[in-house]
Structure 1
Amino acid sequence: MLRKPKIDRFNESVLSRYQIYNSIFITLPFDEISNTGVLLPLFSEICEKGYEENKNPTEIVGNFFKKYYEKPTDTEKFDLLFRFIQYIERQVVLFDAIEDATFPVVNNMDGRGTLRNIKEEAEAKNKMPELKAYLEHFKVRPVLTAHPTQFYPGSVLGIITDLATAIRDNNLNLIKKLLAQLGKTPFFKKEKPTPFDEAVSLIWYLENVFYQSASQIFDYIQDNIFGEEELNNQVLNLGFWPGGDRDGNPFVTTEITLKVADRLRSTILKNYYRDVRRLRRRITFKFVDKLITDLESKLYENIFLQSGRTTITAEETMSTLLEIREILETKHQSLFVDEINDLINKMKLFGFHFATLDIRQDSRVHHNVLSNIVEESLEMGLDIFPKNYNKLSEEKQINALSKIVGKVNPSLFKHEMSRNTLESIYAMKTIQRNNGEMGSNRYIISNNGSVLNVMEAFAMIRMCDWEQPTTDVVPLFETVEDLEDAHNVMETLYKNKAYAEHLKRRGNKQTIMLGFSDGTKDGGYLMANWGIYRAKEALSAISRKYGIKVVFFDGRGGPPARGGGKTHQFYASLGPTIENEEVQLTIQGQTISSNFGTPESCQYNLEQLLSSGIANNVFANEKDRLGKEDRDTMDRLAKISYKAYVDFKNHPKFLPYLERMSTLKYYAKTNIGSRPSKRGGGDKLVFSDLRAIPFVGSWSQLKQNVPGFYGVGVAIQEFVDNNEFDKVQSLYQNSTFFRTLLENSMMSLTKSFFKLTAYMQDDKEFGAFWKIIHEEYERSKAMLLKLTGYSELMEDTRSMKASIQVREKIVLPLLTIQQFALRQIQELNASKKEVDPELMETYERMVTRSLFGNINAARNSA
């Protein structure tokens, strides 16, 4: 029987189910206003018709109340609009749950990019030896971060999981109960989560999803590709940032870091204990029954022990499992050996650490800290730094830092940040003792722009009783300028004697992180992506020259504007000039729940990431090596778009527009993340202080999605005007990298809806600025359609487009309410009369509350 096209599977399994369950949902009475669910479809219809007739959000809301209410009071209006917000954000949850439930139906779990497909392709092309050789060293590392791009509290995530199961089982009675529960469960967090709260939320995914999915992938590779040969490469390992990411987050303390590491260890032990307990019911034979019983007891005992008091190690556990396997093979006809092998494979993947807890801090903080340490240590008479260190040239400072070793006591320093920074390094050593070296072995330097930035961190690590650190120093290059200079920075480091010796001890392997989010904010969409591509090429070349294996760690967000989009296609397109023995990337916010939230979606997307590296090497395509003319075209496109974006960013109305016409300042009020929504402490908005998430999110709330397309249209148009469009066509045909960029940009354009804010074109202050954005949207859309030959955006991915369209339709009334409230706030601020503070607070609360559903609805941006 022929498999139906993906769009048909989506319509049958997702869309039709949503229509059925939503019709049940909107009839459920959650409170005293029982007609909310009846009125919401009517409001949605008025919104759609209103925008078709070019009405603004204020007129649309006014028309609705005029048609369905007789002289409503302000209280009645506000009550109903807040009820609409509650319903809509829950409709998004319902749609999420349905997509989760039907993931294996809509997506071909054995199709292109899956392990089974890779194995069959390798067999067909006689490339099994090459595939095995590559899998002996290739790794994928997804790093879970708490960057707040999703607003679901843990209780709602639990309902999504249960709802997805009930939908999969067609359990209508349970579905109705869960929908009723959803209606009464609060979405809004009254207090900010702590970094530990964020860690606990993400550890849920490790425990309930990644533990099974990652081990199933490893089992498949071992059993079906390697067979009797032992696979001695993890293939998959997990990273973790909550509790270790100090960059801009004053709430991450050493105590929290150690607490999170303890939680990671106790959680993996709990998972092992459950597996061993099940195994004990099967392995009841002579010689092995006592071994497995003793192991069960020790694991149980250690789940609850605090750090430093553990009575079993990962090595001892592995040794016991190997002994049990040998006895089963030699004395019991290999009965239940597969189950033991599964647990051995899990131990290989997760050890006693579960996921590696990275430590991250900003280079500017390090510089300030080191200056304070120098001053205070000289005052205390400590012989660590030269007396004139702060007056030395940068080159001489680097030379001095290369020689620093010691055992400094953090408590001796008065400067709080100095104590905290040194304590975080000692915490890494503690974690390694308790959880193994993989527990915490990377120190990431944000905003890294120089050799000095790296050496300052390196020196601080070595002065913490760690002359030969078992940790990697990872510079993070983010801005356009830093990316261009990154290879020079690394070459100087490779030539530095102390640092070269450190790399030799670490297996001549250097991890380098590259930041998409801030790169896009700084340089625009095309330049950020091309800048990182070129930086990777230059870093690969310089690392190969010095015999260093470079590993790239990409800071990628959910939406294309933050480096997300079709991630596996992006990695598969990089070609041989970029080192890619490992794929490492951050997984953030809604990307965690959308791409890795269920065992099926997690396994599918991990396999897609694995296949991207394999496609790039085992099945390498010479077409993905950019020729000179194509490179020149890409370079020119990036430079033209960069100039357009920088001019736009420097427009005098850029920051005022974001501050007064968008939801930017309301992000801080949502209580979705533990860290502040901007870097600086001042009241005045400064571009460099803007965090990428509120920046990109604010454009998304306006349905303008500027960071995902601005400059693309201008760049291609210039080639058209110069009669050089054939050069862009050649690049598009020859480069999967360029095609992937444009497909992601099309996604950003598809999610834009300028009729929502069309009223702004008549604004005296911001009208001209709005038109600049709208013109570039229209230009980018026209140029992409011309280049691709499509009649509509995302023509090649109809099921994803259909999902986006359903989600956009769900949140249209929500966005209308948000814009209505923003307009009321603007009018109140412009009024010369005294403003009623209660009225202002109501409208501001309406804006804040409406942020939630729109961001959550964008989960398919990855």
Structure 2
Amino acid sequence: MKLSQKEALFASEVVTRFELYNSLFLTLPFYRVKHTGTLLPFFTSHCEEGVKQNLAPSDIIESFFGQYEQYVQSSDRIDLLFRFIQYIERQVVLFDAIEDSAFSKTNSAEENALAFLLQQAASNPEMKAEIKKKLEEFSLRLVLTAHPTQFYPGRVLAIITDLTEALKTNDINTINLLLQQLGKTPFFNKSKPTPVDEAASLVWFLENVFYKVISALQKEVENEVEGVTFNQNQLIELGFWPGGDRDGNPNVTCQITKEVSELLREIIFRCYYRDFRDLKRRITFRGVETPMARLQELFYQNSFTRVENPVDLQGEIIENLEAIKGVLQRAHDNLFVDNVDDLIRKVKIFGCYFASLDIRQDSRVLRKAHQAARAFLKNPVVDGYDELSEDEKVKHITFNEEDVPSEGYDSLGEDTFQTIRLMKRMQYSGGEKASHRFIISNCQRASDILQLINLFLWSGWKKDELNIDFVPLFETVQDLSSASAVMETLYTNPFYKEHLLKRGNKQIIMLGFSDSTKDGGYLMANWSIYKAKAELTSLARRYGIQLAFFDGRGGPPARGGGKTHRFYATMGKEIANDNIQLTIQGQTISSQYGSFDTAHHNIEQMINAGLVNALDKSDKNTFSQQQKDLIQSMASASHNAFVTLREDPLFLKYLEKLSPLKHLSHINISSRPVKRNSGGELKLEDLRAISFVTAWSQLKQNIPGFYGVGTALKTAKENGVWDEVKNLYNTSGQFKTMMDNCMMSMSKADFRITTHLSKDKDFGAFWFRLKEEYDLTKSLLLELTGTSELLEQYPVEKRSIALREKIILPLVLIQHYALQQLNEGKVSEEQTSVLSKLVIRTVYGIVNAGRNLA
């Protein structure tokens, strides 16, 4: 399909239908919203015109109210603004649902789809054999995290799902009813969710989307590729962080982890039970009574009651299903064998655990726990251990099995030892995959890993039964640069080397995009991660170790998101890519995996990316030394520009005063604090990357997604290597994706909204500094790509973003208006409270509309 045809399809299936259903929505009668639907289009037009004239938000909003005599009272004005917010939040939902309902039509011709690749291979025996081999070695692991970028509660997600289905068939009566339901359904929680609440919210996606999509995709691959089996590796695996990720979240405890583990088990059995009931209605023959009765008992008991000390039942379930299948094959002409195979496939994929519960904790907490536990050892470590150098520590670490108490430490220490013991019980009840990874945040040295192994051996784990993958997480630019040295120390450590052999000689390393961007800027973060991957791959190959990278990616380019599958499709030969593992979080889950169609498409794209990269025999995606030197010089220039900006005394003050940063802690969407060290003063190093990126996106400036890129391109031009940069963009998929994602970030920025800050006595010069880098980056990116507008090469995405930005423009201006009022300091305590609520309410819709802004 030609691009122009795809644009026309998007216009008819999305744009026109949104206009139609939005006009219906604006006329619906909601409680206390009389006249709102009528006034909102006028307010939106007024906002657009005011922004074109570079007016301040307060001037735009005050002039609007000046046109309507009934809104003289301040309370009436505020009330109307809240009602506008209420409407716009729901317009965003409507647009999401319409876009999702049209997804299968508007994305039917996506390039490099897995189905197309497998069809090509069908007539090429050599390619087919290669794909079969690769598929049996490859795995895609999607890890759901509860990072706070998801602003839709479960009740709203359910409406979106039903609305999307109704829109597919243009069922006007159902759509009308659902829009009315949407208008009366609250969009936010009155209190902060607990980690179990967060888990339950994400389990909705496991149960309603991933359970169906993953098994369907694997079945499609099995049907297309004759003889392919997934006995050693699962094609698609699921990981889960809510309830397991305790890094900086004091609300996650051992008890919470246990409850989430039980919830996952309960829900997967409920899925099996529903499928089994359908199976039972079909298989009504003689000869299957005993296994059917046993399965009924197993599925029912584990679906609706919390079993004390549960055991792993995967083997017994499969054995009974295979017995039923055998009877059908021998005595009943294979009738309904496909139905049985489908359930067998699901039980093999999801076991008794549904998704592997990862445990994550900061290295500083683990070091402290190690120090405290040493007081209870029968065979004490060398005196003065804490004062030893890293080399000496590694030399003196012994791996004795001891038994230290799980109590008698600080709260984090007790949680650490209790959780390590819990992981053993979780493996007993759900199999090894129920919980087999411990991720060490802020991992800076080999002893962080080796000391954690100590903690396991001191908590009842035996050396020969240590079925745990110890995963270092490297995030900052500095940590990324020293990652290879850390791993080489581990690879040469006799005990760790033996442990890896028992784990299939496979090492998992997690690399974080979010904090590296906050630390070094967009280009340096991406390049530092690429370099670290290349160095770590070379090292692993030298030691004969199979390496799997686990990428901590957020939704927007500033946190590693964007066109993710293109990163994996163009990795080059110097980076291990046999396994793709990444976090999907918040809005990424609902926007890219929120329905069967979108999840099927995006998972298919990721598998396809891994295969395409493996099948590519050329070196076109492997950087030459000259290209590496070129990118390094640009990354250094970009890094210098970003660090200079970050070190400006106004940097954090600007963000704190002019964005809703300090209000984010009052948004009831996450159990995690906005920053580490939540009781202390605001410091950049403690500020979570999500909050950092969200604040900039609310300002409509998106600094983390582009700042320094323009300086880097300008430096390259001044150094006479502009043609080399253009050639790099045209030939390297990796570099092209970096630049394209940067443009995506910039397309969601609009400096016109904050033009009034250029005259601010405190921040005027700083605002100009940001704007100048934006203008520089934009002009040079357009020159680099040979285009006249951002995202010109992706017109459908460009239009989708533009429509979303138009919908939420009034929200942005309301937020900035409220912040202006608060910053002027001429408001009463009661008005301060109301204006703060106004700020908080606008954040929801802006992030939701941005789909991966945070």
TM-score relative to the length of structure 2:
0.97
* 1:394 matches 2:371: no
User: C-alpha displacement at 1:229, in angstroms?
Assistant: 6.4
* 1:354 matches 2:354: yes
Q: Distance in 2 between matches of 1:197 and 1:678?
A: 20
> Where do residues 675-714 of structure 1 align in structure 2 (5 Å cutoff)?
675-714=672-711
1:158 is matched with 158
User: C-alpha displacement at 1:331, in angstroms?
Assistant: 2.6
Secondary structure, aligned partner of 2:701: coil
Native 8 Å contact 2:701 2:749 kept in 1: yes
> Where do residues 362-441 of structure 1 align in structure 2 (5 Å cutoff)?
362-374=362-374, 376-377=375-376, 382-411=378-407, 413-441=408-436
User: C-alpha displacement at 1:860, in angstroms?
Assistant: 5.8
Secondary structure, aligned partner of 2:572: coil
Secondary structure, aligned partner of 1:226: coil
1:636 is matched with 633
* 1:826 matches 2:818: no
- 1:749-790 superposed Cα distances (whole Å, 9 cap, x missing partner): 100000111111111111111111100111110010000001
Bigger CA drift: 385-394 or 82-91?
385-394
Q: Distance in 1 between matches of 2:705 and 2:311?
A: 52
User: C-alpha displacement at 1:228, in angstroms?
Assistant: 8.0
Q: 1:729 aligns with which of 712, 726, 731?
A: 726
CA spacing shift, 1:545–1:208, aligned 2, 3 Å: same
Equivalent position amino acid for 1:357 in 2: L
> Where do residues 315-714 of structure 1 align in structure 2 (5 Å cutoff)?
315-374=315-374, 376-377=375-376, 382-411=378-407, 413-468=408-463, 469-714=466-711
Q: Distance in 2 between matches of 1:219 and 1:620?
A: 28
User: C-alpha displacement at 1:32, in angstroms?
Assistant: 2.7
User: C-alpha displacement at 1:124, in angstroms?
Assistant: 4.9
Q: Distance in 2 between matches of 1:345 and 1:293?
A: 20
2:118 is matched with 119
Q: Distance in 2 between matches of 1:723 and 1:27?
A: 60
- 1:797-843 superposed Cα distances (whole Å, 9 cap, x missing partner): 11111111110000000000001011111111xx5xxx510011111
2:266 is matched with 266
Q: Distance in 2 between matches of 1:523 and 1:691?
A: 15
Native 8 Å contact 2:57 2:817 kept in 1: yes
Native 8 Å contact 2:527 2:632 kept in 1: yes
2:74 is matched with 74
Equivalent position amino acid for 1:717 in 2: K
Q: Distance in 2 between matches of 1:33 and 1:502?
A: 64
CA spacing shift, 1:674–1:170, aligned 2, 3 Å: same
Equivalent position amino acid for 1:306 in 2: R
- 1:402-430 superposed Cα distances (whole Å, 9 cap, x missing partner): 4242122202x242221111111111111
Matched pairs, number: 851
Equivalent position amino acid for 2:416 in 1: T
Q: Distance in 2 between matches of 1:19 and 1:775?
A: 36
2:811 is matched with 814
Equivalent position amino acid for 2:404 in 1: V
Equivalent position amino acid for 2:844 in 1: F
1:838 is matched with 830
User: C-alpha displacement at 1:337, in angstroms?
Assistant: 1.4
User: C-alpha displacement at 1:467, in angstroms?
Assistant: 2.7
Native 8 Å contact 1:357 1:440 kept in 2: yes
User: C-alpha displacement at 1:710, in angstroms?
Assistant: 0.5
User: C-alpha displacement at 1:491, in angstroms?
Assistant: 0.4
User: C-alpha displacement at 1:462, in angstroms?
Assistant: 1.8
1:129 is matched with 129
Native 8 Å contact 2:399 2:457 kept in 1: no
1:848 is matched with 840
- 1:321-350 superposed Cα distances (whole Å, 9 cap, x missing partner): 222222222332221111111111111211
User: C-alpha displacement at 1:394, in angstroms?
Assistant: 2.8
Native 8 Å contact 1:402 1:455 kept in 2: no
User: C-alpha displacement at 1:169, in angstroms?
Assistant: 2.3
User: C-alpha displacement at 1:388, in angstroms?
Assistant: 3.5
Native 8 Å contact 2:548 2:577 kept in 1: yes
User: C-alpha displacement at 1:731, in angstroms?
Assistant: 1.2
Secondary structure, aligned partner of 2:98: helix
Q: CA RMSD in A?
A: 1.7
Native 8 Å contact 2:241 2:359 kept in 1: yes
Q: Distance in 1 between matches of 2:220 and 2:372?
A: 53
CA spacing shift, 1:229–1:143, aligned 2, 3 Å: closer
Native 8 Å contact 2:139 2:579 kept in 1: yes
Equivalent position amino acid for 1:583 in 2: I
Secondary structure, aligned partner of 2:265: helix
Unaligned runs of 5+ in 1: none
TM-score relative to the length of structure 1:
0.96
Secondary structure, aligned partner of 1:360: strand
Bigger CA drift: 645-654 or 617-626?
617-626
Q: Distance in 1 between matches of 2:306 and 2:795?
A: 51
Native 8 Å contact 1:661 1:822 kept in 2: yes
Native 8 Å contact 1:302 1:311 kept in 2: no
Native 8 Å contact 1:198 1:242 kept in 2: yes
CA spacing shift, 1:346–1:384, aligned 2, 3 Å: farther
- 1:215-239 superposed Cα distances (whole Å, 9 cap, x missing partner): 0111011122125867653100100
Q: Distance in 2 between matches of 1:574 and 1:312?
A: 38
CA spacing shift, 1:710–1:451, aligned 2, 3 Å: same
User: C-alpha displacement at 1:456, in angstroms?
Assistant: 2.0
User: C-alpha displacement at 1:266, in angstroms?
Assistant: 1.1
Native 8 Å contact 1:510 1:549 kept in 2: yes
Native 8 Å contact 1:275 1:343 kept in 2: yes
Q: Distance in 2 between matches of 1:582 and 1:111?
A: 23
2:19 is matched with 19
Equivalent position amino acid for 1:609 in 2: M
Native 8 Å contact 2:537 2:575 kept in 1: yes
- 1:232-278 superposed Cα distances (whole Å, 9 cap, x missing partner): 53100100000000000000111110111111111111111111111
User: C-alpha displacement at 1:621, in angstroms?
Assistant: 3.9
Secondary structure, aligned partner of 1:133: helix
Q: 1:743 aligns with which of 740, 745, 761?
A: 740
Q: Distance in 2 between matches of 1:346 and 1:728?
A: 48
CA spacing shift, 1:163–1:585, aligned 2, 3 Å: same
* 1:91 matches 2:103: no
* 1:63 matches 2:63: yes
Equivalent position amino acid for 1:406 in 2: E
Q: Which runs of 4+ in 1 moved over 4 A?
A: 1-4, 227-232
Q: Distance in 2 between matches of 1:415 and 1:71?
A: 56
Secondary structure, aligned partner of 1:193: coil
CA spacing shift, 1:319–1:280, aligned 2, 3 Å: same
Native 8 Å contact 1:298 1:312 kept in 2: no
2:187 is matched with 187
Secondary structure, aligned partner of 2:67: helix
Bigger CA drift: 809-818 or 304-313?
304-313
Q: Percent of pairs identical after alignment?
A: 47
1:800 is matched with 797
Native 8 Å contact 1:98 1:164 kept in 2: yes
Secondary structure, aligned partner of 1:510: strand
Equivalent position amino acid for 2:739 in 1: L
Q: Distance in 2 between matches of 1:460 and 1:291?
A: 43
User: C-alpha displacement at 1:685, in angstroms?
Assistant: 1.2
